[in-house]
């Protein structure tokens, strides 16, 4: 339970956290779409109001090392929890290293089911070492273990990245992986890539934004229905030539044998492991495999399989029913403390990031802590390529946010604007510039309303992305170009810090912003201090010092 401060600031309006998704503090170079955009509101915020640069990647958000990019999920976990918990990649790596994963009942059952050659063990997942959704090293470890345990037949269904790693890096993973498979393969261990496709074309939809992506993946992985190729390399090279697209947008493909038959359809009785550790883009395909009364699309003659995820992707809804590694137990979140204190909260975003201000913010928990004291609002996202509509739903989000602020019903409000991240991932520099300008226009509308009710706004981000849209040579600092002199787009997140700006025109004399090294997890204590409460002891410290204490 939160304890009231003896001398609270007495903020009349709400405290509003505005998350500018994917907007980091990048270097002033030609790769920085944030600085290239015309953003008079942001410029004034950075120049006029107190700001702290905070860490949003690596160990600051529970990832294995500071070379690991942050992401929206772990970022919102930290913002809402006030603490740092070991996250997916770190949990899985530790479980593999200790052998705990392979000693689990789930692994034993799924692998054991495929000993003797009657059934096939299938792996589906994002095929890279981006360490945001998955890591190819985890897949290799499971394949090696499967051979040790006398599994006979294994098929791999690869979801090509080009988003958390280089936009045209697929063959850098496929070619050495084929060598790895050839070294594992023998007369008793038959292992092959069976299907694949770009992550933004098949399988990895989230928040039910586009179930057709999942259907495409289902038809390709499960039914073996799709354009056939003799190898994944041939499919990638052919599609690149025909479509001139980056890896994440490669159409789906099926690997076929000499008789043009799929080498790895998923059949009755097989075992299937979805090896992504991050949950948002794993839930829908998990539901397609497990739900009896599934209505999102026609699965056809659905095979009955033993299915497991790398982690439990939704703890409340128990999706999936089997998993290899237990997810972090995130407790004592800010949302729960505020609800217990009967503080009215409002959470808002469009579909693409709605789960981040609700599920991830609340510690990977579905639903509300209190129906009475929490209001969640989702603005439906458009199902169009983000670069074609880079403003996304920021205007509609702003409309709803202004209504909520003016209602004076809520003491704490949180909102996510997805533009910088979702458009940044496309690699389209000009579109990302437009997305930032659209966001700036929205901030210009919001801040006067915060003043109108005498509130305070914290403007921050969950990780970087739009701040570095081209690949940079680490030695020279110059933008990398291909052989034709074309700049190499960067579609992944960055390792840059993110801003935490305190927009406050009424109460700044009551507190000071500290100097020091801070991360996203310091946000929760800061918010409750502004609301007039002491932060719980288990939280990381507040970024502000209250002069009244």
Distance from C-alpha of 266 to C-alpha of 104, rounded to nearest angstrom: 23
Residues 438-490: tens digit of each pLDDT = 999 999 999 999 999 999 999 999 999 999 999 888 888 888 988 888 898 98
DSSP-derived letter for residue 356 is I
Which pair of tokens denotes residue 466?
């739009």
Superfamily the domain 89-325 falls into: BPG-independent phosphoglycerate mutase, domain B (3.40.1450.10)
Per-residue confidence (pLDDT) for residue 540, from 0 to 100: 98
Question: What pLDDT, on a 0 to 100 scale, did the predictor assign at position 325?
Answer: 94
pLDDT at 549 over 60: no
The rounded distance, in Å, linking the Cα atoms of 432 and 405 is 28
Residue 23, pLDDT above cutoff 70: yes
Query: In the prediction, which pLDDT does 316 show?
Result: 58
Q: Could you tell me the residue ranges of all domains in the chain?
A: 15-86+330-546, 89-325
**Cis status, amide bond into 541, omega within 30 of 0:** no
- In sequence order, what are the residues at sequence separation of 6 or more whose Cβ sits closer than 8 angstroms to the Cβ of residue 79? 17, 19, 361, 460, 462, 520, 521, 523, 524
Residue 178 in this model has a pLDDT that exceeds 90:
yes
Which residue blocks in 380-423 are alpha helix, DSSP H? 394-407, 419-422
What's the CA gap between 316 and 200, in Å, rounded? 27
Tokens representing residue 154 in the block: 């294994």
What is residue 278's predicted lDDT score, i.e. its pLDDT? 87
- pLDDT, tens digit, 9 for 90 and up, residues 225-275: 999 999 999 999 999 999 999 999 999 999 999 999 999 999 999 999 999
Report, in this order, helix, strand and coil percent for the chain, each rounded to 5. Answer: 35, 20, 45
Q: What is the three-class DSSP state of 64?
A: coil
Confidence band, pLDDT 50/70/90 cuts, at residue 343: very high
Provide the pLDDT confidence category of residue 90 given band limits of 50, 70 and 90. Answer: confident
Angle, helices 523-531 vs 72-81, to 10°: value is 40
| 23 neighbors 467 (Cβ within 8 angstroms) | yes
Q: Which two tokens stand for residue 34?
A: 């944030």
In degrees, to the nearest 5, what angle opens at C-alpha 534 toward C-alphas 333 and 519? 55
Pick the catalytic residue from 65, 72, 128, 545. Answer: 72
According to the 3-state scheme, what is the secondary structure of 210-252?
A: CHHHHHHHHHHHCCCCCCEECCHHHHHHHHHHHHCCCHHHCCC
Structure tokens at 429: 């520099």
Strands (E), 337-427: 345-350, 374-379, 412-417
Cβ burial, residue 444 (10 Å; 0-12/13-18/19+): middle
Mean pLDDT of 92-103: 95
For the ranges 199-208, 213-222, 231-240, 392-401, the lowest mean pLDDT is seen at 199-208
Average pLDDT over residues 345-372: 95
Kindly report, residue by residue over 25-77, the tens digit of the pLDDT.
Answer: 999 999 999 999 999 999 999 999 999 999 999 899 998 778 888 889 899 99
Distance from C-alpha of 139 to C-alpha of 125, rounded to nearest angstrom:
9
Q: What percent of the chain has pLDDT over 70?
A: 99
Q: Which CATH architecture group holds 15-86+330-546?
A: 3-Layer(aba) Sandwich (3.40)
200-215: average pLDDT: 94
pLDDT tens for 124-157 read: 999 999 988 999 999 999 999 999 999 999 999 9
* Residue 548: per-residue pLDDT: 60
- Between helix 136-148 and helix 170-184 the angle, nearest 10°, is 10
Chain segment 296-328, per-residue pLDDT in tens: 999 999 999 999 999 988 765 789 999 999 877
- CA neighbor of 359 nearest in space, from 417, 460, 279: 279
447, containing H or E segment: helix 429-452
* CA dihedral of 209, 213, 217, 218, whole degrees rounded to 10: 70
79 compared with 131, residue with greater pLDDT: 79
CA dihedral 507, 509, 511, 515 (to 10 degrees): 120
pLDDT of residue 99: 96
Range scoring the smallest mean pLDDT among 340-354, 381-395, 486-500, 512-526: 486-500
Is pTM beyond 0.85? Reply is: no
Nearest to 175 by CA among 116, 234, 217: 234
Over residues 285-303, the mean pLDDT reads 97
Following DSSP, what letter does each residue of 25-43 receive, concatenated?
---SSTT-HHHHS--HHHH
Mark whether 489 is an active-site residue: no
Give Cβ neighbours of residue 412 (< 8 Å, ≥ 6 apart). 14, 15, 16, 17, 338, 343, 344, 345, 346, 527, 531
Report the candidate in 384, 388, 219, 407 with the shortest Cα–Cα distance to residue 297: 219
Rg for the chain, CA atoms, rounded? 24
pLDDT at residue 329, rounded to an integer: 82
Cβ proximity of 211 and 205 under 8 Å: yes
Q: Are 230 and 192 in contact (CB under 8 A)?
A: no
d(CA 352, CA 380): 8
């Amino acid at each position: 339970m939160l304890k009231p401060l003896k001398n609270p600031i007495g903020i009349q309006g709400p405290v509003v956290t505005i998350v500018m998704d994917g907007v980091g503090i990048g270097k002033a170079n030609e790769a920085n779409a944030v600085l290239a955009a015309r953003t008079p509101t942001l410029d004034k915020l950075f120049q006029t109001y107190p700001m702290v640069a905070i860490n949003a990647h690596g160990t600051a958000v529970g990832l294995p090392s500071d070379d690991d990019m942050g992401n929206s999920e772990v970022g919102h976990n930290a913002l809402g929890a006030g603490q740092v918990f070991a996250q997916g990649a770190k949990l899985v790596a530790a479980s593999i290293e200790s052998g705990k994963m392979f000693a689990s009942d789930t692994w034993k059952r799924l692998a054991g089911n495929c000993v003797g050659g009657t059934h096939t063990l299938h792996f589906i997942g994002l095929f890279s070492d981006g360490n945001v959704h998955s890591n190819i090293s985890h897949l290799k470890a499971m394949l090696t273990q499967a051979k040790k345990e006398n599994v006979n037949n294994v098929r791999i269904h690869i979801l090509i990245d080009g988003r958390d790693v280089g936009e045209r890096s697929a063959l850098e993973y496929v070619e050495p992986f084929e060598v790895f498979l050839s070294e594992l393969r023998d007369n008793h261990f038959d292992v092959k890539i069976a299907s694949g496709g770009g992550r933004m074309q098949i399988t990895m939809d989230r928040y039910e934004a586009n179930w057709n992506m999942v259907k495409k993946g289902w038809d390709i992985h499960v039914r073996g229905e799709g354009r056939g190729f003799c190898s994944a390399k041939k499919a990638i090279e052919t599609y690149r030539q025909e479509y001139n697209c980056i890896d994440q947008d490669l159409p789906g493909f099926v690997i076929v044998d000499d008789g043009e038959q799929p080498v790895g359809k998923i059949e009755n009785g097989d075992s299937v492991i979805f090896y992504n550790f991050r949950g948002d883009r794993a839930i829908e395909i998990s539901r397609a495999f497990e739900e009896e009364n599934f209505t999102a699309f026609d699965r056809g003659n659905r095979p009955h399989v033993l299915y497991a995820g790398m982690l439990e992707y939704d703890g409340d809804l128990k999706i999936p029913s089997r998993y290899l590694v237990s997810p972090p137990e995130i407790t004592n979140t800010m949302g729960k403390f505020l609800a217990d204190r009967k503080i009215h909260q409002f959470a808002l975003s469009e579909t693409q990031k709605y789960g981040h201000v609700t599920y991830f913010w609340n510690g990977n928990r579905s639903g509300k802590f209190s129906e009475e004291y929490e209001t969640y609002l989702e603005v439906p996202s458009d199902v169009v390529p983000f670069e074609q509509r880079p403003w996304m739903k920021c205007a509609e989000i702003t409309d709803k946010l202004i209504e909520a602020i003016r209602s004076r019903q809520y003491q704490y409000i949180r909102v996510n604007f997805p533009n910088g991240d979702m458009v940044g991932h496309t690699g389209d520099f000009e579109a990302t510039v437009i997305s930032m300008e659209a966001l700036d226009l929205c901030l210009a509308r919001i801040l006067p309303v915060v003043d109108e009710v005498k509130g305070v706004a914290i403007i921050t981000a969950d990780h970087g992305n739009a701040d570095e849209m081209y690949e940079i040579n680490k030695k020279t600092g110059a933008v990398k170009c291909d052989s034709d002199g074309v700049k190499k787009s960067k579609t992944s997140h960055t390792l840059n810090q993110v801003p935490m700006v305190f927009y406050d025109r009424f109460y700044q004399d009551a507190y000071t912003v500290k100097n020091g090294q801070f991360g996203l997890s310091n946000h929760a204590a800061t918010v409750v201090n502004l609301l007039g409460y002491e932060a719980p002891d288990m939280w990381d410290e507040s970024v502000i010092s209250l002069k009244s204490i």
